A and B are shown apart, each in its own frame.
Chain A
């Protein structure tokens, strides 16, 4: 079945640094790879996603890269700001998942001013 490993579990950076979170997966049928940001006490919110026919996607300070051969995808945040502090989740979808999202374990990102 679907399985996704997310690393690191916690990440602490200084404001202005870059942050990278990586997820590896096993189900080659997955073809949708979203990243969610969850602030304390709030709902998960989609920040960027990528589909399997694209290797990289960028939206301002956020980018996602996908390597389908190696079965991993990563979230890159540049010029981090304190408001980027949150829990970030990768997820898998598509294929025969019937809409199901399989989430990684989450990364607690702390950006120090």
Chain B
């Protein structure tokens, strides 16, 4: 059983398109996150949700819209994709908004051409 699963694993799309990445966790955690890892490997948080409520919203363009239908799912929708959005996006989860006990998903490599 995969604890935190993301789909798709790879995504290649043209500039201007809209795409979504899905994340699901079966760990019973109530907090989920999206992190972006750029080409220099720098990992930075984008959003976090606790029990479907937005907790953290870092300085991210509003073309990025997270959605959490329930505490086991956190999806990321990106409108009007730009070249600079190319990166690896990692979903993660933890319990009760704690920094410890994180589990990362396997990542989605997004390439915008």
User: If A45-B104, A98-B48, A100-B48 touch, does A105 touch B99 (CB 8 Å cutoff)?
Assistant: no
Count of chain A residues near B, Cβ 8 A:
23
B97→A98 contact, CB < 8 A:
yes
Instruction: Kindly list chain A residues whose C-beta atoms are within 8 Å of the C-beta of B56.
Output: 98-100
Count of chain B residues near A, Cβ 8 A:
23
Q: Name B residues whose Cβ lies closer than 8 Å to a Cβ of A.
A: 31, 33, 40-45, 48, 50, 55-56, 90, 94, 97-100, 102, 104-107
**A89 CA to B97 CA in the complex, in Å?**
21
Identify the 6 closest CB pairs spanning chains A and B, nearest first. A93-B99, A99-B97, A43-B104, A103-B43, A32-B99, A106-B41
Q: Name A residues whose Cβ lies closer than 8 Å to a Cβ of B.
A: 32, 34, 38, 42-46, 49, 87, 89, 91, 93-94, 97-103, 105-106
